[in-house]
Amino acid sequence: MNTLYNIRRNAMWMAALLPLALQSCGGGTSGGSTTTQTTTANTQQQPAKQHFEIKILNQNPESTGKVGDNYSLSVTDDGTVTADSTIIKVDGKTIATLPKGESTFTIATSALRCGRVPVSIQFCLPDGKSEYASQSLMLYSDIVPKKKSYKVVATYPHDVDAYTQGLVYENGYLYESTGLKGKSTLRKVKIDNGDIIHSVNLDHEYFGEGLAMIGDRLMQLTWTSHVGFVYDKNTFQKLSEFGIATEGWGLSAINSDTLVLTSGSENLYFLEPNGMSPMKTIQVCDNLGVVQRLNETEMVKGRLLANIYQTDQIAEIDYNTGKVLSYIDLTGLLPDNLRTTSTDVLNGIAYDEAGDRLFVTGKNWPKLYIIKIIDTK
């Protein structure tokens, strides 16, 4: 990203948080929404009077809310109607069905991810209709992140004009996405001397961003244009374009079936790599709250590493739960005597799995580093 920081709450985030598949009281499925509504099978839903109220309270009143806390859910009605049963869903999964007359339930969170977790309630009425209500839990991580540092293993030249936004390693070469309008490129770089083997320029309207590789395809994001590009890895021929609902910051392949995108917020957006359709969204948190400004990312030994924009910190994230496991402090990596007025922030992570080499650099940095992550005492 450039030095202007902007976090968007966007359509993709809302799509991941709000829609829930609500089952019918008879065991089938019916459409629904997380607002309180009345519906009957095979009829269009219309807003109706709300007969039920739900309250969710942390059983530990001193807690700010973290994974592992238990929450008390209580239901009250207005006295005009009583539900035959109440179906409770947490994060899209049914966890309980309360019979008629039961109005309280304890939600255990030890197995949940962190971040904002939706809770949906379906009230099954005697006339066959249903009402729905929803709230959400905001859960911070139950893990205090470890503090880690680094050791420089090797240093190589890096193009000082490269405003590094994405970095990928394969077969002895680095593939790099660079940013700034009018200067954005996709390039293949020789590691030992920084020579550019192959490069293509983006149109001047685009600001290049994160980069990922799956098979023979390279996927490159743009910042605010809501579009990305797919290239042939060997020829750099543009194969297709795809849309994204958010700003594009970082992009990494979790595996051959899943990409993860960052937008400068606390959100990780999981995408299907062929059509780039959204799969799910989770928030990244440590024990103190959500962790924002997630930028360039890389998968390393089953964990997602993410640059935190405008800092010297890399967050090590359990991408399944959103929990930050450690912070890697790279302060001092680029010495002061190599910094100029054009030197920008740390950004760019690539991993050589076969050689167990971790590459890092920054925007307009003259050096590329191989580092080893070490625990601090």
The three-state secondary structure class of 195 is coil
Q: Contact 84/128 with Cβ under 8 angstroms? A: no
The whole model's pTM is what? Answer: 0.85
pLDDT at 205: 95
User: Which residue spans within 263-345 are E strands per DSSP?
Assistant: 267-271, 278-283, 285-286, 289-290, 294-300, 303-308, 313-318, 323-329
d(CA 214, CA 273): 8
Give the other-Cβ count within 10 Å of 105's Cβ.
Answer: 18
pLDDT at 15: 42
Quote the tokens at residue 57: 């309270």
- CATH 2.120.10.30 for domain 146-375, yes or no, is yes
d(CA 28, CA 316): 41
Q: Which fold is adopted by the domain 11-139? A: Immunoglobulin-like (2.60.40)
CA-closest candidate to residue 169, choices 344, 315, 355, 364 = 355
Domain ranges of the chain: 11-139, 146-375
Quote the tokens at residue 198: 């192959």
Average pLDDT across each block of 10 residues of the chain; the chain has 377 residues. List them in order.
40 41 49 33 53 90 90 91 93 94 93 95 92 93 97 97 96 96 96 95 96 96 96 96 95 96 97 93 96 96 96 97 97 94 94 96 96 90
